[in-house]
Amino acid sequence: MTDLVNTAPGVWSGVDQLGDDAALRDFLDGHRLGATRITADDVADVHAVRERLRPLVETADAGGRVAGAAVLTEPVVRVALDGDAWVAVLAEDTGAAEVLGVVGGLGLLSVQRHLGSDRFRPCASDTCSGVFVDVSRPGRRRYCMPGHCGNRVNVANHRARRRARDT
């Protein structure tokens, strides 16, 4: 995203880094994105997307950022806005599996790409078979439901310590 915005003329150089279909193909390949079709029209469409992305990065208005990003996702998923928050909505003729697949898939792909494989973990509690995706900044989360599984482990440890002390 950052890379795309910064290919515009005047950012890294005077020329457009995505000036033609070959440059766009290289850019997509370089980011392991690929595309089945790249025509002059697609190049123009990408330029238009790039111009819409930049203000979304620059703005200090988080609500405006979400709203602008939601418009960009519209061909795939409908998003309802609530200030800075957003919620994916089932458009008519969109099955629940479809929307959950898109939203869940994009979420997982984003974490995989930006945070890496070790953010996908099983819960550390012995009595829980949950799994979770750790999107916390430090990345040290251990339980699928920290207030619940973490407490159960603490309670169990506490009881074990007390038993050991009392015997």
Q: Is residue 128 a contact residue for Zn ion (CB under 5 A)? A: yes
* Residues forming beta bridges with residue 78, ordered by sequence position: 89
Kindly indicate which of the ranges 18-26, 44-52, 73-81, 147-155 contains the residues binding Zn ion, using the contact rule CB under 5 A: 147-155
**Should residue 130 be labelled a site residue for Zn ion when binding is judged by CB under 5 A?**
yes
Query: Could you say which of 7, 123, 150, 153 contacts Zn ion (CB under 5 A)?
Result: 123
CB of 125 to Zn ion, least distance (A): 5
Question: Can you tell me the distance from the alpha carbon of 89 to that of 57, in angstroms, rounded to the nearest whole number?
Answer: 24
DSSP H helices in the chain: 2-5, 21-30, 40-58, 62-73, 96-114, 151-166
| Length, in residues, of the chain | 167
Residue 25 CA to residue 59 CA, distance in Å, equals: 29
- Binding to Zn ion by residue 5, rule CB under 5 A? no
Pick the stretch among 29-37, 65-73, 113-121, 145-153 that binds Zn ion (CB under 5 A).
145-153
Residue 8 contacts Zn ion per CB under 5 A: no
134 binds Zn ion (CB under 5 A): no
* Contact flag: residue 142 with Zn ion (CB under 5 A): no
CA 102 distance to own-chain centroid = 11
Positive or negative: CA dihedral 27, 29, 30, 33: positive
Q: Does 149 bind Zn ion (CB under 5 A)?
A: yes
77 is an interface residue for Zn ion by CB under 5 A: no
Q: By CB under 5 A, name the binding residues for Zn ion.
A: 123, 125, 128, 130, 143-144, 149
